[in-house]
């Protein structure tokens, strides 16, 4: 022992020091209880809340995005469907237009052909008529030149002409019938 | 080592290899009895001594720490707030929750203040020029242990719904055969209500006491062996010895810091354990 | 030599407690390593055992100083 105040036992409990210790602890406890812990726990709770709120918000946003995506998908499918329908309709229309045009063209063609036939017939008739008169005159003229003055009496003359014309006509009818056929 | 030790060592300083010099005198428990500056002259009082001053310093440090860490609070923590939350979460997740579960959260203020206060009082042993752990005076841990003692008894009585119920649950172990009870009940009484608070206080005290004595011994030995005047050969040897002692002093100071933290942790942990045990139904 | 025999008694009393505390924590670590999910109750029991065993060493310490 070094002669300080070492007469006492090491395991002493001094009342004054005990009381001071308790007072100091009471001060610290009061500070912790009233000041530090409420503030810290409040902040921890707030942080936990905000983190949880953030997660919640993210979840909501995700759900919303998913819904939107679904909507877009549906719209896209609908567009595809309507496009296909339009395409089919257009194809049908096209076919209808083509058929109509074809029919019209055929009708037109037939009409033109008929008109042409009629024209041709009329021309032929006219040409025949003209030919008959010309041929009569021509053959009379020819026969007059060939026979001369011998066939000048009118009775014989008209007889010969008629017979000639009949023959001619028969030949022309046969020819026409072959042409039509 | 306290200033007293230094002075004492200095008076006989440079003793090694001095013929007829003073022998090495290891620091005794006298270093834990600093002379009071003002004495009350009452029985069982220590007067206004170094311990009281260090207690004030420790209290001020803890108060400053609390004010500094809880001053500004924001959702995104700053540096000081982070330290405060780290301490709080350490006490909650390492001490309170394992011992008491979530229902122990209402004892967080008690545990946090116990932890901070004991740690601050321990750390007083490492602050230069002060260097005397407040807990190496049994008065201070005894007061804290008494607070924990009263708290866990009150909590137990409240939780069990009656004084008789609580003491019966705490003293009579369930499932023991009747004929062993006469032996078991006194043992339980002694261990739960006498030895428990006593060891709770003495554990911190004894560790701080022994650790501080160890550091004081290394410091005194280092000073004792520092004797360059003992001739070229012996002087070199003594300086080398002294250096080794200084190195050991530094290493053990770091070790002491760990011990101080651990003892504060164990003190708080046992407080939580006792309260948790009293809270549970037996 | 000066000193008190009490201190030797304290040293002897600490041997047992030291072994005991070592066993408690060693076994506790083993138990936690085997069943990490039972960490909570194991830790509680480790510290109960530690406190009880160290009480013996502290009794030796107290008696070494109290009886002079």
For A66-83, letters b (16+ CB in 10 Å) and e give eeeeeeeeeeeeeeeeee
Q: Is A1 on the interface with C (CB under 8 A)?
A: no
Residue B10's pLDDT band, with cuts at 50, 70 and 90, is very low
- Which residues form the domain of A150? 15-180
Any chains having at least 3 CB pairs less than 8 A from chain B are A, C
Instruction: Count CB neighbours of B262 within 10 A.
Output: 13
Percent of all residues in chain B with a pLDDT value above 70, rounded to a whole number: 92
Task: Check residue B201 and give its pLDDT.
Answer: 92
pLDDT of residue A1: 31
In terms of pLDDT, which residue wins out, B257 or B1? B257
Tokens read off for B100: 């008491």
- Cβ separation of B46 and A17 shorter than 8 Å? yes
Confidence of residue A149 (pLDDT cuts 50, 70, 90): low
Beta-bridged to residue C11, according to DSSP, are none
> Is residue C4 within 8 angstroms of chain B, CB to CB?
no
Chain C interface residues (partner A, CB cutoff 8 A) = 62, 65-66, 68
| Interval B17-25 mean pLDDT | 69
* Contact (CB, 8 A) for B36 and B47: yes
CA angle in degrees (0–180, nearest 5) for A116-A118-A122: 115
For residue C43, give the nearest of B98, B198, B202 by CB distance. B98
Q: Is the pLDDT of residue C31 over 80?
A: yes
Question: Which of C7, C60, C65 would best serve as a mutation to test chain A binding (most A beta carbons within 10 A)?
Answer: C65
Q: What DSSP string describes B201-223?
A: HHHHHHHHHHHHHHHHHHHHHHH
Question: Would you say residue A6 lies in a domain?
Answer: no
**Average pLDDT, rounded, for chain A:** 85
Q: Does C59 touch chain B (CB under 8 A)?
A: yes
Say which residue, A151 or B195, is predicted with more confidence: B195
What is the tens place of the pLDDT at every residue in C36-60?
Answer: 998 888 888 888 888 888 888 888 8
Q: Cα dihedral sign for C23, C29, C32, C38?
A: positive
CATH numeric code, C5-66: 1.20.20.10
Chain mean position to CA C12? 13
Domain ranges of chain C: 5-66
User: Residue B38 phi/psi, 5° resolution?
Assistant: -140, 125
Give C55 to chain B, closest Cα distance, Å.
6
Residues in chain C closer than 8 A to B269 (CB atoms): 47
Residue A3 pLDDT level (bands cut at 50, 70, 90):
very low
Structural domain total, chain A: 1
Note whether B63 contacts A50, CB cutoff 8 Å.
no
Burial of A181 (0-12, 13-18, 19+ CB in 10 A): exposed
A130 C-beta neighbours (distance < 10 Å), count? 10
Put simply, whether A47 touches B (Cβ < 8 Å) is: yes
**Higher model confidence: residue B3 or residue B104?**
B104
Confidence of residue A154 (pLDDT cuts 50, 70, 90): confident
Does A99 map to a domain? yes
Range B220-237 average pLDDT: 82
Q: Does A170 map to a domain?
A: yes
Distance CA B151, CA B107 (A): 10
Which of A130-134, B113-117, B155-159 is the least confident region?
A130-134
**DSSP type of residue B96:** I
Paired tokens of B24: 């090495």
CB B15 within 8 A of CB B22: yes
Contact C52, B195 (CB under 8 A): no
Nearest-Cα distance to chain A for B64, in Å, is: 10
In angstroms, rounded to a whole number, what is the distance separating the alpha carbons of residues B104 and B275?
9
Tokens standing for residue A136:
């009569």
Spatial separation of the C-alpha atoms in residues B63 and B76, rounded to whole Å: 23
* 3-class SS of residue B43: coil
Radius of gyration of chain B (CA): 24
CA distance C68 to chain A (A): 9
In this complex, the residue of B28, B66, B142 whose CB is nearest that of residue A32 is B66
Phi-psi region of A9 (alpha: psi -120 to 50; beta: other; left: phi over 0): beta
Answer whether residue A59 is part of any domain.
yes
Q: Say if the Cβ atoms of A9 and C65 lie within 8 Å.
A: yes
Are B141 and A17 contacting, i.e. CB atoms less than 8 angstroms apart?
Answer: no
By C-alpha distance, the chain C residue nearest B273 is C44
Q: Given pLDDT bands bounded at 50, 70 and 90, which one contains residue B27?
A: confident
Residue B266, judged by CB atoms within 10 A of its CB (0-12, 13-18, 19+), counts as: buried
Nearby residues of B58 by Cβ (< 8 Å), 6 or more positions away: A24, B117, B120, B121, B123, B124, B134
Looking at residue A5, what is its pLDDT?
Answer: 42
d(CA A153, CA B122): 178
Interface test with C, best of B98, B271, B277, B280 (most C CBs within 10 A): B98
| C38 neighbors B174 (Cβ within 8 angstroms) | no
Q: What is the mean pLDDT of residues A63-88?
A: 94
């Amino acid at each position: 022992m070094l002669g300080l105040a070492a007469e006492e036992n090491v395991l002493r409990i001094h009342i004054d020091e005990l009381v001071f210790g308790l007072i100091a602890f009471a001060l610290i406890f009061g500070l912790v209880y009233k000041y530090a812990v409420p503030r810290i726990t409040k902040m921890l709770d707030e942080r936990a809340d905000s983190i949880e709120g953030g997660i919640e918000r993210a979840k909501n946003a995700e759900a919303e995005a998913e819904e939107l995506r679904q909507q877009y998908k549906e719209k896209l499918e609908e567009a595809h469907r309507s496009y296909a329908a339009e395409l089919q309709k257009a194809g049908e229309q096209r076919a209808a237009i083509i058929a109509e045009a074809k029919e019209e063209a055929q009708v037109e063609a037939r009409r033109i052909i008929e008109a042409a036939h009629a024209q041709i017939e009329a021309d032929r008739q006219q040409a025949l008529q003209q030919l008959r008169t010309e041929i009569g005159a021509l053959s009379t003229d020819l026969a007059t030149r060939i026979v001369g003055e011998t066939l000048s009496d009118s009775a014989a003359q008209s007889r010969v002409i008629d017979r000639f014309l009949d023959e001619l006509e028969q030949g022309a009818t046969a020819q026409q019938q072959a042409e039509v056929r | 080592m306290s200033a007293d030790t230094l002075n004492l060592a200095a008076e006989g300083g440079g003793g090694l290899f001095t013929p007829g010099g003073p022998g090495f005198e290891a620091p005794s428990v006298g270093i834990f009895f600093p002379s009071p500056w003002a004495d009350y002259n009452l029985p069982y009082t220590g007067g206004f001594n170094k311990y009281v001053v260090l207690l004030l310093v420790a209290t001020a440090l803890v108060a400053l720490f609390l004010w500094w860490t809880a001053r500004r609070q924001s959702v995104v923590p700053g540096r000081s707030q982070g330290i405060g939350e780290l301490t709080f979460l350490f006490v909650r997740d390492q001490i309170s929750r394992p011992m008491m579960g979530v229902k122990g959260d209402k004892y967080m203020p008690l545990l946090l203040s116990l932890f901070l206060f004991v740690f601050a009082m321990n750390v007083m042993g490492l602050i230069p020029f002060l260097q005397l752990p407040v807990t190496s005076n049994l008065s201070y841990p005894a007061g804290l242990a008494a607070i924990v003692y009263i708290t866990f008894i009150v909590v137990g009585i409240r939780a069990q719904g009656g004084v008789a119920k609580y003491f019966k649950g705490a003293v009579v172990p369930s499932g023991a055969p009747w004929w062993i009870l006469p032996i078991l009940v006194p043992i339980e009484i002694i261990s739960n209500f006498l030895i428990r608070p006593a060891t709770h206080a003495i554990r911190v005290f004894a560790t701080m006491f022994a650790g501080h004595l160890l550091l004081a011994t290394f410091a005194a030995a280092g000073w004792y062996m520092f004797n360059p005047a003992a001739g070229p050969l012996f002087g070199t040897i003594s300086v080398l010895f002294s250096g080794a002692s200084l190195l050991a002093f530094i290493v053990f100071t770091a070790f002491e810091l760990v011990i101080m933290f651990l003892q504060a942790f164990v003190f708080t942990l046992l407080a939580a354990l006792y309260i948790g045990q009293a809270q549970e139904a037996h | 030599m000066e000193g008190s025999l009490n201190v030797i008694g304290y040293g002897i009393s600490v041997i047992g407690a030291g072994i005991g505390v070592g066993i408690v924590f060693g076994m506790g670590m083993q138990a936690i390593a085997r069943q990490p999910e039972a960490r909570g109750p194991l830790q509680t029991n480790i510290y109960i055992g530690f406190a009880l065993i160290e009480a013996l060493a502290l009794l030796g310490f107290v008696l070494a100083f109290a009886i002079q």
